[in-house]
Structure 1
Amino acid sequence: MLKLFRATAILEGISYLALFGITMPLKYWAEIPGPNKLVGYAHGALFIAFITLTILVGYEKKWGIKKLLIFGAASLLPFATFYVEEKYLRPEKVD
């Protein structure tokens, strides 16, 4: 489950950056709304998967509330899922 969580963290981060860095400007500046809708759906699904996997892996690994809150906050900030993947989810760093 950890490999899935790591992949989801990276994909969620990429979708966040694509949504706000590429498709939102296309929607509002170039009046091309199509990509924003597709990337928005993907980002929403990945966000839900990331939060769900945070809870499941946290329960499995017996993480404390502090670590769970760090992951929850990371899902809301650009680049933060990349940080938690590197700092907390590498196989040698998972406790």
Structure 2
Amino acid sequence: MPLKYYYDLPVVVKYNGWVHGILFILYIAAVLRATWLCNWSLLRILKYFIASLIPLATFILDKELRKDISVLQK
């Protein structure tokens, strides 16, 4: 936003917005794919969706995913 208003560069915000939107859609697609492959519960799907709305919350859930992966590999 500073680039848009202080430096009068709205095109930078446009492309960053597009990238952010595409990454969000890919994240939701990844959660849906994991749901399909791992038979996640509705509560877990909801938790991962809510985490996508809170900044940096997905990194906190990464620890849970790593634990699940280690269980599956044994």
TM-score under structure 2 normalisation?
0.77
Report the residue type matching 1:45 in the other structure.
I
Higher Cα Rg, which structure = 2
Return the offset for 1:38: 1.1
Corresponding residue pairs, total? 70
Contact 1:51–1:72 (CA under 8 A) maintained in structure 2: yes
TM-score under structure 1 normalisation?
0.62
Give matches, 1:73-88, under 5 Å: 73-84=50-61, 86-88=62-64
* Percentage identity across paired residues of the two chains: 37
Runs of 4+ in 1 over 3 A off after TM superposition: none
User: Relative contact order (C-alpha < 8 Å, sep 6+): which is higher?
Assistant: 1
Q: 1:93 to 1:37 in 2, by over 3 A?
A: farther
The Cα offsets for residues 7-65 of structure 1, whole Å up to 9 and x where unpaired, read as xxxxxxxxxxxxxxxxx232234332122111111111110111111011112111111
